[in-house]
Structure 1
Amino acid sequence: MVMIMMDGAINDNNYPNYKSVFRGRKNPNGCNIKGTFFLTHHYSNYHQIQELYEDGHEFAISSITDDAGLPEKNTTAWVDELVGMRAILQDQTGIYDDVLGSRAPGLKSGYNTQYEVLVDYGFIWDSSISAPPLKVPVWPYTLDYRIPHECKTNSCPTRQFPGLWELPLNSHYVEGFAAGHCPYIDQCVFSHMDSDDIFDWLKEDFERHYNSNKAPYALAMHTNWFTNREQVQALEKFFNYTETLNDVYYVTATQALLWVIDPVEMKDIRNFEPWQCKQDDKPKACNNPNKCALDHRGDDGIAVVKYMTTCETCPSVYPWLGNAKGRDTDKKDVYEKYS
C-alpha cells in the first residue's frame, strides 16, 4: 500500500499540481488512485476542496492556523484548532462523517492533551508521530499499548488511548543517507540530483517497505515538492514504476487502516470492499462558487480583509478560532463531545 499524504491549505498555488498527481492513474483493480489531505484553514479554497472530495480523496484535519506552538497549549486550544477546523470544513463543504483523522502541525504531537481531544471528539486515527530511520518500517498501531518505536519529539503521548489508531510516518532515507532522512519527502535535500537520481532514491526507499514487512509507504509532502521540476519528474517516474507492480495500491489513510483492521489475502484484494470504485460516488461541487472578502481581526488586534472561496453563502466574518461559522458576534463556539 502507498498513501499519498498532502499537508496544508488547498488553493490556486497547489490545486493544479494535486490534480495532476492523480490524473489518469488507476490501481490494479481499475479504480482511481486516491490520497489523503491534512487541511489547514488559512488560504484554503473550499470549492477546490469539494472538487477533490468529488474525485474520491479523503480529508483529515491539521488545524485552523497551523500554529507551530500548539503542542505547548491547553485543551481549549486543541479543541479550537482541531474540532474548529472540522466544523469549518463541514460548514463550507458539507464534508463531516468521512473526517476521521488528524495530524498535528509540523508533526509535533501535543503530549496527552492532543490525544484526549481526539478521543473526546470522535476521531478514529492520528498521524502525528514520526519514526526514526529504521531498516524495518513500522506498521500502523493502536495506542492501546506503548508506542513501539523511538519518538522523534519529546511531546508524544505517555499513556494509553485505547481504540485510537496511529499511522506513523516512517523516515524516508536510503543507504548512506544521501539527501538525509525525512518524514516528508520535500524535507530531504535533492538539490544535487537530477530526476533519475531522485527516482532511484524514491525507489530504494519504497523497496525497503516492499521487500521487507510491506508496511504502508507514506508519500507525505507539502506544496514545496512541486516547486522543483526534477522532483516532479521523479515522482512521475515513481508512479510509472509502481504501476508495473500488480500488488501496489494507492489508497487513503482510512482505506489502509480498514485493511490493517480486517486484512484479506492478495488473491482477494481486487474485491476488497473498502477499496472498490463505488467510493468515487461523491456529491458534485458547484459551478459558480462565491468569492468572499471577509473582515478578520487577528491576535494582534489589527483588522484585515481575508479572502475565501466557497459554494456556500459568504459568512459575516472570516471563520476562525472559536468562530467556525464566521458569525458577527463575540459568542464563542461550544462543541459537543463524542458520545
Structure 2
Amino acid sequence: MFSIFTQPAQSSVSETQPSPADEGRGGGAPLGYSTSTDSKMKPSFVSGLFSLACVGLAAAHGDLLNDGCRPIAKRSQELQKRQLLSSGTGEGQSVSVGGGASAARYSCDPSTCQLPKCHCADTNPPGGLNPKDVPQFIVFTADDAVQDYTIKSVNQFLAQRKNPNGCTPLMSYFVSLNYTNYAQVTELYVNGNDVADHTMTHQEQPATDAEIDGNLITLNALAGIPYKSIIGYRAPFLNYSRANLEHLARTGFTYDSSSTASVPVTDPNTDAFWPYTLDNGMANDCNTVDNICAGQPKLPGFWEIPMYAIFDERGAAGAHLMDPWLDAANASDVLSWMKNTFTAHYNGKRQPFGIYTHPIHLATGYPGLKDPVDQIKMLNDFLDWATTSAEMQNVWIVSNKQLLAWMQHPVPASQLNTLDAFKCQTPNVNQHICNGFTKNNDLLEHCISNTAGDPLNNSPFYTCYGCPVTTPSPQQPNPPQRNNDKTLRTRIPNNCDTPFWDPVAAKCLCSGSSCAFDDSTRPIGPNGDNLTSSGGQNTGSSSASSPSVSSDPYRTFSGAAGRMPSSTVLAWSASAVLAAAAGAVMLVV
C-alpha cells in the first residue's frame, strides 16, 4: 500500500503505516500502486480544434499556461481554450448532448431511496420543498494548480462578497499538483473551502488509480488536510470512466463532479438533475461515456454532482460549460447567456447554477499576456446582478461540499443557518503553530533544491509539514522528508483537524467538540444587503500589484497581508530565473 507519515519521519518510508482507508476514509480497500489505464471513454465534451503551439514565456515561476508544454492557445485576444492536439478535444470547451433524461433508462424508487444516504436523480428539489422556498445555489469551482496567480484570480470574485447570512462565499478547488504551492492549499482549507482531488499530473486519458490516490496522499502529507476531509473529485478534461467512479466509491470519496447536464432546464428532456447518489446508476453523460446508465454503476451512497451548462441563443445546441467567457470575443454576449440561463434555473425548479473556472484564464499580471479586464468585469457584473436583484431572493454562492450538506438535509432558504456548513465559524487558535493561518507564515518551510536538475527547482513550494526530498509523483506520492536541519515535522493524523495540528510539536491542540470557533454568522437577510464585490475594486486592472521575478510570488488567500517570509524571496527569484533559462513554460488545465 502507499505509506504516509503519521509519526516523525525516519530516513525511509515504512510500508506498514496506515493507508487513507485505514485513516478514516472508509469505503473499502487500501490504496495501491495500480498503473493500469482505465478503458477509454467517449469524451463528454465536443472538440473544436485550433492550430496551437507551445508558448515561450519567461515566467516568474512555474508557468500555469503550458503544463508539460501541452499545445495551447494564447489567452489574450484569441480567447481560445487549451486543447490537446492528440485528441482534438478541449476541457469543457463545449458540450456534447448526453442524450438527456430519455437516454438514461434510469429507474429509482424514492420510497426506498431516501435522504440523507440515498437520493434519486430528479429535477425537483429534494425534501419535497416548494421551489419558491429553495435557495438558488451558485456553485463556484476552480480547477488545477493553486498558487499566487490562481488565488488572486479567485479572490477578485469572492473575497469581498457576502452570502445573505454575512459569511464570505466558499468554493470547491479541484487541485492538481504540478506547480501547486501546498501552503496555499492549507490556507484554502482552513478558510473553509472544499479542497478536492484533480489527480497529480492531469493526464488526458481517464486517470489511473495511482493518479487519484497519489493526489489524495500528497494533499494529506504536504497540505495537511485529513483524508476524511478530501471528499470530492473531478476528472482532468472531464474525461472519466466507469472504472474511475467505482474506484472513487471504493476509496471513500463522497462525490464526483465530472458529468455534464447538457439540456436546458426548460426542456422536458432536461438532464439537469439535482445531485443524486449512484444507488441506481448514472443518469448523465449516457451517450458519451461507455458502460454507464441503465442502472450502472450501482454505487450506494456515492454522489454525482452534475456540471450544469449555460446556453446561448441556440439552446441545447449552444451549450457552454467551463470558462464560458472564453467562448466569445464580446464579454457582453457571455453575460447575456449567463443571465438567461440563471433566470431559467431560478424561475424553474432552482437546480444549482454552476460557475466552473480555470482561474489562470482570469489571472492578472501574467507575463506576456494582456489582463482579461472585460471578462473579469463581466463575471463580477453577473455575480452582482444575481445576488442583489430585488426580484430574485435567496441566492447563495457555495461549494460542492455545502451543496451536499444541504442535499442531505434540505431546509428552506430561511433556515440555512441551522446547517453548520453554512455558518462562518473561524477556528479559535491562539498558539503560534504552523496551521495555514497567515499570522504563522514565519513557520513555513521553503522547499527548493540546491541540486541541478532536481524537479523541485522547477516548482518549489512552501509547506508546514516538512519538505520532501523530491517532487511527489504517482510512483512516490509521499517522499521521505528532507532532514537538512536534523528536525522532522509530523504529518497530520486523521483524528485532528488542520487548524489545531502542530506539526513541529507533533501535538493536536483539541479534537471534536473540545475545539473552539468564533462564529460571526448573522441572521439571514435579503439579497442585495452588502453582498457585492464593492464594484470596481475587483476588475483586475493591469495596474494592480502583480507577481514578478523580484517579488515573492506566493501570497495568501486573504490578500496581500501575511506574505511569505522575505528571507525566501531571493531563493525563489533565483529558481525562477533558472526555470526561465531552461525555457520551461507550463500550463495546468
| Equivalent in the alignment of 1:268 | 415
150-159 or 254-263, which deviates more: 150-159
302-311 or 124-133, which deviates more: 302-311
Q: Structure 1 residues 149, 16: closer, same or farther in 2, change over 3 A?
A: closer
On the 8 A contact 2:263/2:316 being kept in 1, the answer is no
In the TM superposition, residue 270 of structure 1 has moved relative to its aligned partner by: 3.7
In the TM superposition, residue 175 of structure 1 has moved relative to its aligned partner by: 2.9
Q: Are 1:135 and 2:288 an aligned pair?
A: no
Q: Structure 1 residues 201, 317: closer, same or farther in 2, change over 3 A?
A: same
Q: Percent identity?
A: 26
| Equivalent in the alignment of 1:306 | 458
| Equivalent in the alignment of 2:327 | 189
Alignment of 1:208-287 (within 5 A): 208-226=344-362, 228-244=372-388, 245-278=392-425, 283=435, 284-285=437-438, 286-287=440-441
The match for 1:26 among 162, 167, 192 is: 162
Q: Structure 1: which 5+ runs fail to align?
A: 72-76, 297-301, 329-339
CA deviations over 1:5-61 (Å, ceiling 9, x no partner): 101011133221112221121100111111000010011011222222232211010
- Structure label with greater radius of gyration: 2
| Equivalent in the alignment of 1:292 | 447
The match for 1:85 among 209, 215, 230 is: 215
In the TM superposition, residue 152 of structure 1 has moved relative to its aligned partner by: 5.7
Say which SS state the counterpart of residue 140 (structure 2) adopts.
strand
In the TM superposition, residue 320 of structure 1 has moved relative to its aligned partner by: 0.8
In the TM superposition, residue 292 of structure 1 has moved relative to its aligned partner by: 2.1
CA deviations over 1:213-264 (Å, ceiling 9, x no partner): 1111121111254152211101111111122143011111011011112101
Q: Structure 1 residues 239, 179: closer, same or farther in 2, change over 3 A?
A: farther
In the TM superposition, residue 149 of structure 1 has moved relative to its aligned partner by: 3.7
1:166 maps to a residue whose letter is: E
246-255 or 10-19, which deviates more: 10-19
Structure with the higher fraction of residues in helix conformation: 1
In the TM superposition, residue 147 of structure 1 has moved relative to its aligned partner by: 2.3
Say which SS state the counterpart of residue 162 (structure 1) adopts.
strand
Q: Structure 2: which 5+ runs fail to align?
A: 1-136, 267-271, 364-371, 430-434, 482-589
CA deviations over 1:79-114 (Å, ceiling 9, x no partner): x11121111111112112321111111111122x21
CA deviations over 1:256-283 (Å, ceiling 9, x no partner): 0111121012332343332111267795
On the 8 A contact 1:180/1:188 being kept in 2, the answer is no
On the 8 A contact 2:217/2:477 being kept in 1, the answer is yes
224-233 or 44-53, which deviates more: 224-233
| Equivalent in the alignment of 2:297 | 159
On the 8 A contact 1:14/1:223 being kept in 2, the answer is yes
User: What's the Cα RMSD here?
Assistant: 2.7
Q: Are 1:315 and 2:468 an aligned pair?
A: yes
Q: Are 1:106 and 2:237 an aligned pair?
A: yes
On the 8 A contact 1:56/1:280 being kept in 2, the answer is no
2:184 maps to a residue whose letter is: Q
Q: Structure 1 residues 216, 252: closer, same or farther in 2, change over 3 A?
A: same
The match for 1:10 among 122, 146, 156 is: 146
| Equivalent in the alignment of 2:70 | none
Q: Are 1:62 and 2:185 an aligned pair?
A: no
Task: Give me the TM-score of the superposition, normalised by structure 1.
Answer: 0.84
Q: Structure 1 residues 280, 58: closer, same or farther in 2, change over 3 A?
A: farther
C-alpha distance in structure 2 between counterparts of 1:247 and 1:166, whole Å: 24
In the TM superposition, residue 142 of structure 1 has moved relative to its aligned partner by: 0.9
C-alpha distance in structure 2 between counterparts of 1:135 and 1:23, whole Å: 30
On the 8 A contact 2:256/2:303 being kept in 1, the answer is yes
The match for 1:146 among 274, 281, 285 is: 281
Q: Structure 1 residues 161, 200: closer, same or farther in 2, change over 3 A?
A: same
Q: Work out the number of aligned pairs and report it.
A: 316
| Equivalent in the alignment of 1:332 | none
| Equivalent in the alignment of 1:336 | none
Q: Structure 1 residues 115, 178: closer, same or farther in 2, change over 3 A?
A: closer
1:145 maps to a residue whose letter is: N
Q: Structure 1 residues 58, 290: closer, same or farther in 2, change over 3 A?
A: same
Say which SS state the counterpart of residue 14 (structure 1) adopts.
helix
In the TM superposition, residue 174 of structure 1 has moved relative to its aligned partner by: 2.7
C-alpha distance in structure 1 between counterparts of 2:398 and 2:244, whole Å: 26
Task: Give me the TM-score of the superposition, normalised by structure 2.
Answer: 0.50
C-alpha distance in structure 2 between counterparts of 1:142 and 1:253, whole Å: 14
C-alpha distance in structure 1 between counterparts of 2:317 and 2:359, whole Å: 19
1:254 maps to a residue whose letter is: K
2:219 maps to a residue whose letter is: L
2:310 maps to a residue whose letter is: H
In the TM superposition, residue 150 of structure 1 has moved relative to its aligned partner by: 4.2
C-alpha distance in structure 1 between counterparts of 2:256 and 2:376, whole Å: 28
C-alpha distance in structure 1 between counterparts of 2:460 and 2:393, whole Å: 42
Q: Are 1:49 and 2:185 an aligned pair?
A: yes
Say which SS state the counterpart of residue 307 (structure 1) adopts.
coil
On the 8 A contact 1:293/1:308 being kept in 2, the answer is yes
On the 8 A contact 1:133/1:172 being kept in 2, the answer is no
Q: Structure 1 residues 239, 280: closer, same or farther in 2, change over 3 A?
A: farther
